[in-house]
Amino acid sequence: MQQTWPQAYKWVRVSEGGNDDDPQDPGGRTSRGIIQREYTAWRALQGEPSKDVWTASEEEIEAIYRTQYWLPYGDLMPRGADYQFFDMNVNHGMGNAVKILQRSLRVKPDGHVGVVTMAALRGADPKSLISLITNGT
């Protein structure tokens, strides 16, 4: 298992910023990149009552990012590509992130990380993969 989660999380937290309640943003009320609807659902799964996302603890925010956007694939990615994939999950959703990754790996972009995608990922040169993802190939 790679231990790149702490650094990847730190970078995503910087890029996602603080609190926001932009009426033009379809996500609505947001704190550190986590929208209110997502936070409310996460708290319900924890058996906790709903509360304002702006009051979420840093531990809660980190737990949501790790379970929603890092797992289950972050630790399987080559160093560097793991952060890119994590960031794509946050910004584009898992299905779109997987398809971007698959196109970069030159496998059928079906949105499912199965044995074909994992084999291509294992055989990929990390620097080339990072370049392909960055250039939107």
The dihedral over CA atoms of 43, 99, 20, 51, expressed in degrees to the nearest 10, equals -10
Do 84 and 134 sit in the same domain of this protein? yes
Q: Which backbone phi and psi does 28 adopt, to 5 degrees?
A: 75, -150
* Closest residue by Cα to residue 132 from 72, 78, 69: 78
Say how many C-beta atoms besides its own lie within 10 A of residue 14's C-beta.
Answer: 8
Question: pLDDT tens digits, residue range 41-85?
Answer: 999 999 999 999 999 999 999 999 999 999 999 988 888 889 999
- pTM as predicted: 0.88
Distance of CA 54 to the CA centre of its chain: 20
Tokens linked to 52: 């304002």
How many residues are listed for the chain in this entry?
A: 137
Do 29 and 67 sit in the same domain of this protein? yes
- Answer yes or no: is pLDDT of 4 > 60: yes
Do 47 and 84 sit in the same domain of this protein? no
Residue 20: give the domain boundaries. 1-71
Q: 121: domain CATH number?
A: 1.20.141.10
